Structures are given as structure tokens and as C-alpha cells.
Amino acid sequence: MAFHEIVAPTVKALFIQQIEGMILSGELRPGDRLPTERELADEMKISKTVVHEGLRELHRLGFLDIASRRGVTVADYAQTGSLETLTAIMDFHGGLPDGKTARSILQLRYYLEAPAMEELAARRSPSDIAALRALQRQAEEASTRDVQSLAEALFRYHRGVTFLSGNTITPLLFNAFTRVNLEFWKGYIRSEGVARCLERLAQFTEHIAAGDGAAAAQLLRTGLEEFMARME
């Protein structure tokens, strides 16, 4: 039996967490001005150095704007944020995105994967299709274990589609959403059932092998739209 070290959060981390929470809950809204560093330090009973460093980290994450004359104001993180901002949002919601963010992620997935399916179908080689079928078999084998294993295999299959399409950036973007996509896949498996998931996977493979990227992209669109409808 092994016990793991318990690491308490730093004061800086707690400060960042509190400000993030106030922004994501709507208590602080875009354009709202924060008190000065000294005022925040005095009110929160922490050092001015912690406040200074925390505000700059929140600025880096896209949550705050810092200007020498205007001071510190809340930013519109949808316009100023990054993938790290998305991670902070998901952490605020217990590791999962809220409904609006979830739908946006699924829409992004379509915009990334549908062109990849069409490109792969158009330029497919025997080795590409062999690799795709191997990923499909991995999913079929994983389906005999548990939901987590199948979710991971489905993720690898769809990431494989983007890799085999020849685009070097799309798989990296896919990887950026690994955690949330695995949660989506587990929900999809539970709602559709294992047999339906594997049937649809086989259809993706056959459409791409036949050079029908449009059919594969439409199948993807239909599946995502059905899943988003269940989320409402």
C-alpha cells in the first residue's frame, strides 16, 4: 500500500482561485475594475507580492487586463484567453465544461475532424486504411473491458484520423482536449451503447476507405448533433 504526499495549495494559488471563481461565477464581469494591489492585499490579509504575482498570472491566462493608467480590469476571457483558460474554466466546473462550453468544444471538434476525414478519404493509401482498421480493432478489443478503455480507444481512433490526414497541427489540438473529450466519449458510450458506438466506428472506416469523405463528415456531424441534443 502506497500513500501519496499531500501538497497544500500556496497562498498565490488560493488568491488566483478566488479571483477566477468570482469571474467565472459572474460576480466580477468584463470591464469591472479591481481594487489596487495594496487594497487587495490589506482586504485579503496577504502580501502585496502575492497579489502582484497572482494578478499577472490571471492576466497571462486572459482573465484580467492590466494597464498602467487604468489599473486592473476584468477581461472578456472568451476573446483574450487560451487553452489554459479553458482548463481553468473546466476546473471551476469540477473538471468538466459548462453546457455552453461543452457545445463549443464539440463544434470545434467537427471543424477539426470533418476536413481531416475528407482529406484522408481523398488521399488515402493502403497503409492509411490499414492503420485506421488497426485503430478500429483496438476499439473493438477495448469494448470487452470497460467504458474508460473504450473511450480512450475511440479518442485514439479519431485523433488517428487527423494524423493520417497529413495535417501536423490538428492532432496537437486534439490532444489539448484529451481530458474533456474522454468525458464526452464516456457519456456517448453510455447513451448510445457499445454496439452502436462500434457500428458507427466501422461506418467511418468504410466511408473513408471508399473515398467518401463527405459521408464520413456527415456521419460525424449527425453523431455530434445527436449528442448535443441530449445535453440540453
Q: Which tens digit of pLDDT belongs to each residue from 129-139?
A: 999 999 999 99
**Mean pLDDT score across all residues of the chain:** 91
CATH class of 98-231: mainly alpha
Q: Which tens digit of pLDDT belongs to each residue from 26-53?
A: 999 999 999 999 999 999 999 999 999 9
User: What is the predicted pLDDT for the residue at 2?
Assistant: 66
Where along the chain do its domains lie? 11-86, 98-231
Q: Three-state SS string across the chain, please? A: CCCCCCCCCCHHHHHHHHHHHHHHCCCCCCCCECCCHHHHHHHHCCCHHHHHHHHHHHHHCCCEEEECCCEEEECCHHHHCCHHHHHHHHHHCCCCCCHHHHHHHHHHHHHHHHHHHHHHHHHCCHHHHHHHHHHHHHHHHHCCCCHHHHHHHHHHHHHHHHHHCCCCCHHHHHHHCHHHHHHHHHHHHHHHCHHHHHHHHHHHHHHHHCCCHHHHHHHHHHHHHHHHHHHC
Calculate mean pLDDT across residues 102-111: 88
pLDDT above 70: residue 232: no
User: What is the predicted pLDDT for the residue at 57?
Assistant: 94
- Topology at the third CATH level for domain 11-86: Arc Repressor Mutant, subunit A (1.10.10)
Q: Which tens digit of pLDDT belongs to each residue from 75-99?
A: 999 899 887 888 788 778 776 667 7
Q: What percent of the chain has pLDDT over 70?
A: 97
Q: How confident is the model at residue 125 (pLDDT cuts 50, 70, 90)?
A: very high
User: What is the predicted pLDDT for the residue at 48?
Assistant: 94
Q: What percent of the chain has pLDDT over 90?
A: 68
The Cα 152–Cα 150 span in angstroms is: 5
Fold agreement between 11-86 and 98-231 = no
> Which amino acid is present at 68?
S
Q: Which tens digit of pLDDT belongs to each residue from 11-21?
A: 999 999 999 99
Q: How confident is the model at residue 1 (pLDDT cuts 50, 70, 90)?
A: low
CA atoms within 13 A on the CB side of 75: 22
pTM above 0.85, yes or no: no
